[in-house]
Structure 1
Amino acid sequence: MTYSTQVNRLFLIVFGEKIQKRFENIILVLAGLGFLIHLLLIVLKTNNIGFLSEVNSSLLNDPITAIYTPFSLILIYEVYLLVFYLPRSFTSCVSKQFEIISLIVIRKIFKDIPQMDLQGDWYLSQHNLELMVDLLGFLLLFLLIYLFNVGKNRLPKKIVNDPKLLNFISSKKVVSLVLLMLLIITSFYSLISWS
């Protein structure tokens, strides 16, 4: 069995369609549960129930911030997809990067909305101006993603037969597998050090 064949088999095991679907379903369930748990924590803190009344976190002050949790989990899935798309074309990878950036921006927007200053001249508040810039940036990113994907879909799709190019793609698959391993390790490290 050749190196390229082994890499392709391992890549299909890790990034196969069944695994992707299962991971996607797990993320969706966790995002829904995370949203509900976040809302429950906000209710508990708001009503001074238990230890949460002592917690001073801006993420537990307003129900709108509960959207932050599912967006964070969906962001994990999008990073997984970015690592999956790495061996594909450059345009697919760039498109996925734009999507991840837009998710980060929209997540920040939902985190910042409850802190808006709606008193008097709301448009003069530094926080409100930053929020408006973030909103405009998100809309611009959304437009760029749309235009980029329209342009990407117009490109002709080619079948790869060149052995050198196939080896290059196999090398990119190895990079994807290594990046996924590093992503998992750093995620666990962050989770352990966070708790």
Structure 2
Amino acid sequence: MLKINRLYDILSSASVKHKAEQWTVYFSFFLFFGHLILIFLRNSFPDNILLSGLNPNYLAALYTPFSIILVYEVYLLILALPLSFSESIRKQYEIISLIIIRRVFKDISNFESFDQIAEQKEAILQIATDLGSGLLLFLLVGVFYHVSLKRKGLAAISDKEITKFITLKKQVSLFLVVVFTSLTFYAAYEFSTAAYRLIFYEVPFSLDLNVIFFVEFYTVMIFADVFIFIASFMFSQTYARLFRNAGFVSSTVILRISLSADPIYGGWIAAVALLTGILSQLIYVYLSKLEQKQTDG
């Protein structure tokens, strides 16, 4: 147990997270400018076979650093898991909102000019949908955070039980680090293979960059959340807490569904997931205060 705690403490230390943040920024800049250079070469030498499959729109380069930052946010999500269930869920909400907003860059980059976008109603509708749902998710994340602050000061489980529960969640967190690393390399392999086939064999690029890596990760998160939900029975058997945790798990399932849904509906389905989490947290705070008053009385 001590080794597990020590390993988690190292990964979650301020110095390690600071270095990870720095490398994320450096890598994002490197890929951003590298992508811009490739687009420039593609537009300068349109007959070049190796670059012919590349998107000629410079706005496509915005998608690349955004994706790297999203992967870093997943790393922070994993480290937040032992802190509290609410903090972990809030991180999941933040990531899904960033994924939806990222789609706007992808939508715009599919066209060679802004005039071309204006001529197609479906494109305008998709961009407006992604932008509108993304902003709504941004607002709902703030509401969830505000509601979560109200649970401070409520009666909690004993210090001994908290220590055991945190140790258990650290084990889950370290397991997710392994899964996270594996999925990152697998996603890089999928992308490289698809790009190689496009360049050398002219096989159409069919990989959906909007959901690569994240679909698999959110699937794993469902099982991780369910495991923590079941484990919480050992440390807290209050109705309010158990129902709230069940609501959080349901919210994670809905988030996973939003990633596989039609892009026109994905953002709004994710909003339903956030509303589920907000209501679960709000009801938990209300019932916990009633139980506390009854105990004090």
Regarding TM over 0.5, the answer is yes
Is 1:145 aligned to 2:141, yes or no? yes
| Equivalent position to 2:53, from 52, 56, 71 | 56
| Equivalent position to 2:70, from 62, 71, 75 | 75
1:98-137 CA-to-partner distances (Å, cap 9, x unmatched) read 1101111121110111336746975x62222121111110
| Alpha-carbon offset, residue 193 of structure 1 | 4.0
Q: Percent identity?
A: 35
* RMSD over equivalenced CA pairs, Å: 2.5
* Counterparts of 2:157 and 2:40, CA distance in 1: 55
Secondary structure (helix, strand or coil) at the match of 2:82 reads coil
| Equivalent position to 1:31, from 6, 19, 28 | 28
| Alpha-carbon offset, residue 154 of structure 1 | 4.1
Q: Which structure 2 segments of 5+ residues have no match?
A: 193-297
* Counterparts of 1:87 and 1:38, CA distance in 2: 37
User: What is the aligned length?
Assistant: 189
Is the contact between residue 44 and residue 50 of structure 1 (CA under 8 Å) also seen in structure 2? no
Is the contact between residue 86 and residue 173 of structure 1 (CA under 8 Å) also seen in structure 2? yes
- Tell me the equivalent position of 1:113: 108
- Tell me the equivalent position of 1:9: 6
* Counterparts of 1:89 and 1:24, CA distance in 2: 22
- Tell me the equivalent position of 1:180: 177
| Equivalent position to 2:124, from 118, 121, 128 | 128
Change over 3 Å in CA distance of 1:51–1:86 after alignment to 2: farther
* Counterparts of 1:10 and 1:53, CA distance in 2: 44
Task: In structure 1, give the amino acid aligned to 2:145.
Answer: N
* Counterparts of 1:64 and 1:54, CA distance in 2: 17
Change over 3 Å in CA distance of 1:119–1:75 after alignment to 2: closer
- Report 1 or 2 for greater relative contact order, CA contacts < 8 Å, sequence distance ≥ 6: 1
Is the contact between residue 102 and residue 142 of structure 1 (CA under 8 Å) also seen in structure 2? yes
Change over 3 Å in CA distance of 1:27–1:131 after alignment to 2: same
1:6-29 CA-to-partner distances (Å, cap 9, x unmatched) read 321110122211111000000011
* Counterparts of 1:106 and 1:24, CA distance in 2: 21
Secondary structure (helix, strand or coil) at the match of 1:68 reads helix
Secondary structure (helix, strand or coil) at the match of 1:129 reads helix
Mean CA deviation greater in 93-102 or 46-55: 46-55
Secondary structure (helix, strand or coil) at the match of 2:53 reads coil
* Counterparts of 1:155 and 1:183, CA distance in 2: 30
Change over 3 Å in CA distance of 1:32–1:54 after alignment to 2: closer
- Tell me the equivalent position of 1:167: 164
Mean CA deviation greater in 154-163 or 142-151: 154-163
* Counterparts of 1:114 and 1:193, CA distance in 2: 21
Q: Which structure 1 segments of 5+ residues have no match?
A: none
Secondary structure (helix, strand or coil) at the match of 1:149 reads helix
Change over 3 Å in CA distance of 1:137–1:9 after alignment to 2: same
